[in-house]
Amino acid sequence: MILGIETSCDETAAAVVSGEGEVVSSVVASQAALHARYGGVVPEVASRRHLELVSPVVRAALEDAGIELERIERVGVTQGPGLVGALLVGLSAAKAIAWARGLPLAPVDHLHGHLATLYLAPDPLEPPFTCLLASGGHTLVLSVRDRGSFEVLGSTLDDAAGEAFDKGARLLGLGYPGGAEIDRLARDGDPDAFPFPVARVAGLDFSFSGLKTALLYAVRGLSEDELASRRADLAASYQQAIVRALVGRLRAAAEQTGDSTVAVVGGVAANSELRAALPDARFAPLALCTDNAAMIASAARFVRPLMPPDYLALDAYSSASL
């Protein structure tokens, strides 16, 4: 039994996953409502909220699993990338729990965690495969040869795909986080109403800042009434441009690796148009697309754990070591 803890951004999460990859429990306390009034995550506010939530969330994960802490054999925790102040809360909690019980601790990379949603029961994915990881903080195409690692083939030069969704939603006057809101609104819109560009970037990299600017100009060109009546068309067209960019890069990457299996993980993997556009791809389970701790506990199975006291000096890191 592995206890996973995740506090890299604005979700305080804890989960229990078995060695075979069954999710025994998964508790996510989202702070989205707390940050919504600022239109994005405020790091200091997030750290303070993690501090309040981490113990009750760990307790709830154990309770939901119906087990005592005595049954936990390993602790897995997100070490980075993310907000350092937020990461340190989860990391400190994990160290304290592991140290108190003499347990091994596995430091998990958040991106490896997203990938590890694919390794959970009942249908764990076997590498090799080519994977799109699209979230609020990252947009990457990855080559995965084994469950313990991954190689980055391409990444975004500016905004992440989830960030593009969130910023687009803000321009359209929708709530935060905006991905799910655009997804919902787009169902009532015409995706070909506005000809938004798909950036041409060399290699397997992405760029979304031009698209965001195109939406800004489209919105500026409309009166308030026109905007209200065309909001769904704008959402659908904007979403289609993001989805096209993601699908195009994933297909090109798979061509390069020669893999017949493609997969998609991260918060944007929840997008219904993206899921429909890639009927042959493996997707993270819908409930585990956005940040959670089951993915961290899952990845902890494929990380060499540190024994006490080796992990006490472990530090968090803020950016991906690409």
Using CB under 6 A, pick the residue from 211, 270, 295, 297 that binds ligand KG4: 270
AA identity, residue 110: H
Whether 249 contacts 132, CB under 8 Å: yes
Lookup: tokens for 148? 């313990």
Q: Which of residues 109-138 bind ligand KG4 (CB under 6 A)?
A: 135-137
Write the binding mask 133 to 152 for ligand KG4: x where contact by CB under 6 A, - elsewhere: --xxx---------------
Residue 315: alpha-carbon gap to chain centroid: 21
- What is the spatial distance between Cα 254 and Cα 65, in angstroms, rounded to a whole number? 38
Q: How far is the CB of 123 from ligand KG4 (least distance, A)?
A: 21
Residue with tokens 């054999």: 73
Q: Which of residues 243-302 bind Zn ion (CB under 5 A)?
A: 291
Return the range that interacts with ligand KG4 (CB under 6 A); candidates 91-99, 265-273, 280-288, 308-316. 265-273
Is 87 near ligand KG4 (CB under 6 A)? no
CA torsion, ordered 244, 144, 293, 266, to nearest 10 deg: 0
Write the binding mask 273 to 292 for ligand KG4: x where contact by CB under 6 A, - elsewhere: -----------------xx-
Return the range that interacts with ligand KG4 (CB under 6 A); candidates 91-99, 193-201, 221-229, 260-268. 260-268
- What is the spatial distance between Cα 155 and Cα 39, in angstroms, rounded to a whole number? 25
Is 135 near Zn ion (CB under 5 A)? yes
Q: How far is the CB of 42 from ligand KG4 (least distance, A)?
A: 15
Residue 245: alpha-carbon gap to chain centroid: 18
Whether 75 contacts 98, CB under 8 Å: yes
- Provide the binding-site residues for ligand KG4, judged by CB under 6 A: 9, 135-137, 162-163, 165-166, 177-180, 183, 266-268, 270-271, 290-291
